[in-house]
Amino acid sequence: MHTSKNLILLRGLPGSGKSTLARVLSENGKHPVFSVDDYFTNTQTGKYAFDFKNNHLAYKLCEENTKQSMINNASKIFIHNTFTIDWELEPYFKLAAKYDYTLFVVTVENYHQSGNIHDVTNEQLQKMAEKYKVKLL
């Protein structure tokens, strides 16, 4: 029996509900869930402390965790990041191709008007939204 392997990238602005949706879709952790934010979140306290100078390390950790889950043949892997710029998506496109995963890119929209837990200002959100591109065709 052929079992498909799926990589699901959840993208959207801070506060859109990416983390919550990832948790729901992963069946509360049955399937691996990763984010750049994992690097900045204390595993004991859950406290989030972003530090831009380590952002490249956070991206690398997320990619490495994804790769390791693919090597372990996880049937579904969920990544939730803003993914506002194409270069942020590209490493996952390459991993999906290399490890034979079907790729899905899902945009999460903030219809629920929730704030974000990272204290991103409305001005910063607007700048992110201006860079955001959706590929419909």
**DSSP-derived secondary structure for 18-58:** HHHHHHHHTTTTTS-EE-THHHHB-TTT--B---GGGHHHH
Q: What is the pLDDT of residue 1?
A: 43
CA 137, CA 134: separation in Å to the nearest integer?
A: 9
Q: Compute the chain's Rg from CA coordinates.
A: 15
Q: What is the pLDDT of residue 122?
A: 79
CA 134, CA 67: separation in Å to the nearest integer?
A: 25
Q: Choose the weakest-confidence range: 3-12, 29-38, 71-80, 105-114.
A: 105-114
For the beta carbon of residue 45, count every other beta carbon within 10 angstroms: 8
From the list 34, 29, 38, the residue with the least C-alpha distance to 69 is 34
Q: For 11-25, what is the mean pLDDT?
A: 92
CA 128, CA 118: separation in Å to the nearest integer?
A: 14
The structural domains of the chain, with segments of one domain joined by +, span 6-131
Domain 6-131, CATH number (from 2.60.120.10, 3.40.50.300, 3.40.50.720, 3.40.50.2300): 3.40.50.300
With a threshold of 0.95, does the pTM exceed it?
no
